[in-house]
Every structure is written in structure tokens, then in C-alpha cells.
A = this chain, B = another copy of it.
């Protein structure tokens, strides 16, 4: 009897996964706005009405795809972090962990552009993501916070400076998001988080066409600057900033 239930449960899981896999395939061709249960059913060789046993509506299928995508990119970020933590000694500094997480997110996005568009692109008109997507959506940001937390617990972190109005918002954010970090760091983390997805989004969505050629080098340099802005890079002995003036 438990065997029978197990078999049925497995069949149900397999069908559910097959539906999602075909839907993901169609995301690439038609986009989320046109995701269609009928088209999925046609490709799977079943009646469209059969799919309603697995997903009560088109929007529920969309929600499942969104949660899966957030979890996939979040898992990439977490795996990259773990690998960096366990890696060579020189790879363990906060900046190296930061870079590893950012690169993992970018690589996931480039490998899954349509799922990236689903979660970080334009909202799907007429669809509103339920609150149940929030935990999955928070995983990447959580990993960025973790890197900053490591650094703050380590030998020292350079706190970014803030204007006065921003300071109020920074304290509010810190209280809600990471009370164990200085408000200025939390604030800088949130800006860096948004900016990271600006870099990735422009690449995935084609805005760098004929602008940026060596996109990997570009990205790595940019996220190093972000790490610096967050305060993860300790000042090294370095030459003074060069200054240019037309009156040299």
C-alpha cells in the first residue's frame, strides 16, 4: 500500500517536472507573458485539461517556474560561496568570496537567460508574484550579506560613509535586514546588490551589444569596484591616485 502510494507520488512528481521542463523550454521561445498551458500540453502529447490536475491555473505554473529559478540562482551563489570558503588561502579573503558569488550569478544568468528574464526582467503583466516566492528570491542577497558578515567578523572592514538623509534609511534597513552589520555597510550592500543586477541585466538583455566586448573582464573589474564600495577591500599600500588636468 505504501508502495502503491510511492509509485503514484513518483509518477505525479515526474509529470509535474515534465510540465515545468516543457514550460521552461517555451519560456525561451514565447516569453513568460505568452506561457500557455495548451501549448505545453500539445508538446507533451496530452490534453490541455489534464494539466489542471497538476497546476490549478496558468499563474500557478508561472509561480512554480519563478520559485525554481530563484532557487537555482540562489543555489549557484551559495555553492560558489562554499567553494570559495574552502578554497586556497588567498581565495578566502572577503573580496574573493564576493567575486566568486557575483561571477556565479552572472554565469547562471548567461546560461539561463529566459529564466533570468522571468525573475529579474520586466514583471509579467497581469501576474503578481505571491509572498511564497520571497524566501527563494532572498537567497542571492543573503549570500552577499554573508560575505560582508564574514568580513566584519574578520580583521576589519572599511565602513562606507553616508550622507545624513541616507543614514536614516540605512539604520532602518540594517535593523530589518542585518542588525549585526553597521548600517552603512548594509546600505552599501543593497546598492551593490541592485548594481550587480544592472551589470548582469545589461549583458543578458543585449544593451552591451557593440559597447562591451570582453564582458568577463569588464564584469570582474566592475564587481571588484563594488566590493570596494561595500568596504570589503582593505586599503593596500598603493600609489596615490593619478590626477589629470588639462593644465599639466
Contacts and interface: CB of A to CB of B under 8 A. Distances in A.
A173 interface: yes
A153 B159 CA distance: 32
A168 B217 contact: yes
Contacts of A162: 221
A166 B122 contact: no
A206 interface: yes
Nearest to A117: B122
A90 interface: no
Contact of A33 (B34, B187, B190): B34
Contacts of A166: 217-218, 220-221
Contacts of A235: 241
Contacts of A157: 243-244
A165 B214 contact: yes
Contact of A244 (B122, B152, B198): B152
Contacts of A217: 163, 165-166, 168-169
B190 A211 contact: yes
A155 interface: yes
Nearest to A195: B195
A107 to B, nearest CB: 17
Nearest to A127: B31
Nearest to A33: B33
A242 B185 CA distance: 12
Nearest to A172: B213
A14 interface: no
A194 interface: yes
A67 to B, nearest CB: 16
B206 A123 contact: yes
A60 interface: no
B207 A194 contact: yes
A153 B31 CA distance: 46
Given A122-B121, A218-B190, A155 B212 contact: no
B158 A241 contact: yes
21 contacts: A30-B33, A31-B33, A31-B126, A120-B205, A123-B205, A152-B244, A157-B244, A160-B225, A163-B221, A165-B214, A165-B217, A172-B214, A173-B212, A191-B221, A191-B225, A194-B195, A194-B202, A195-B195, A195-B198, A201-B201, A229-B229
6 A-B pairs closest in CB distance: A198-B198, A121-B122, A31-B125, A195-B195, A166-B221, A117-B122
